[in-house]
Amino acid sequence: MSTNNHSNNSNSNSNSNGSSSDKINNVVITGASRGIGLALVSEYKARNAEQIIAICRNVPPELAKFYNQGVRIIDGIDVTDEAKVASLPGKIKHIMPNIDLLINNAGIYLEDSLEEIATAQLLAQFTTNAIAPLMITRTLLPLLQSNGGGKVAMISSQMGSIGGNENGTSYGYRASKAALNAFGKNLAIDLKRLGVAVFQLHPGYVDTDMTKHLGPITPKDSAVSLAKLISKLTLNESGTFWHINGEQLRW
C-alpha cells in the first residue's frame, strides 16, 4: 500500500525548531503499524497535521483505516535494510516537500538475562533500536533541513539510562537504547548548525505487544503526552533526554 504517488504536496510554512508554538505540518513516523507508532499517527491526525506519513513493514487494518483519512502509508520498509531506507527520500518527496518532524519509533525488545545472552539477539536489537534511527535520520536530513530546520524525536527508553539502571537484566535492550541516546546526542551536536533539533524521549511503560501488555499507560495516552512534549521542545533543548511527564532524565 505504498502511497507515494498520491499527494497534495502541500507547502509547510513552519520553522519547527524555533518556537514551541509553531505548528508541525509534515510528520513522518516509523514503526507506525501498531502500539505507540499507530497511536502517534492517530494523535497527529487529531492535531490536524497537514501531511502524515506512516512507515511500516505491513499494513494492519488499524493503520489502513487512516489511509482513507488522508494519511499516506509507505509499507514494505524494513528499517534495518539499507536499500529500503535509501528509497525513502524519493518516496517522501512525492508526498511532502520537507519534514517538520521525524519520529524514529520502530524498535524491538528481546528479553534476556545474563545466562541467556546471545550475540544474534544483541546485534538484532542494536541494529533496529540504535543503528536504524541513526541511518534514517542521516538519509532524511535534506528534507529535515530544507525548510529552515525540523525536529527528530528518538523514541528511547528509561531503560537506556545508565545512571538510572537499578534492576539489571535486559542486556541487549538496555545497551541498544543507551547507544540510541549516544547517537541522538551526537546528532544534536552535529545538526544544531543546520537548525535540526534532536531529542530522546521515554514514552512510559506502555500497554503494547512489546511489554506483553503489562504497562499501565495506554498507547493513546503515551502518544498524547509525547506530542505535547515534542511541541514544547526547541533547538535550545536539543540533545536532551526526557520522560513524557516532562522530567529531564539522566544518561
Name the residue ranges covered by the structural domains of the chain: 26-243
Strand-strand pairing, 26-30 and 51-55? parallel
Location of C-alpha cell 542494536: 126
Closest CA to 188 of 123, 124, 242: 242
Query: How many CB atoms are closer than 10 A to CB 131?
Result: 18
* Confidence (pLDDT) at 211: 75
Of the candidate CATH numbers 3.40.50.1970, 3.40.50.720, 3.90.25.10, 3.40.50.2300, the domain formed by 26-243 belongs to: 3.40.50.720
Collect all residues with Cβ–Cβ distance below 8 Å to 243 and sequence separation of at least 6: 158, 202, 204, 249
| Spatial contact of 22 and 63, defined as CB atoms under 8 Å apart | no
Closest CA to 21 of 241, 232, 246: 232
Question: pTM (2 decimals)?
Answer: 0.91
* Confidence (pLDDT) at 21: 43
Average pLDDT, rounded, for the chain:
91
| Spatial contact of 220 and 36, defined as CB atoms under 8 Å apart | no
Average pLDDT estimate for 211-240 = 94
Residue 144 has pLDDT above 80, yes or no: yes
Element (H, E) at 221: helix 219-232
**pLDDT tens per residue, range 70-119:** 999 999 999 999 999 999 999 999 999 999 999 999 999 999 999 999 99
**pLDDT tens per residue, range 19-37:** 444 568 999 999 999 999 9
**pLDDT tens per residue, range 184-217:** 999 999 999 999 999 999 999 998 888 778 778 9
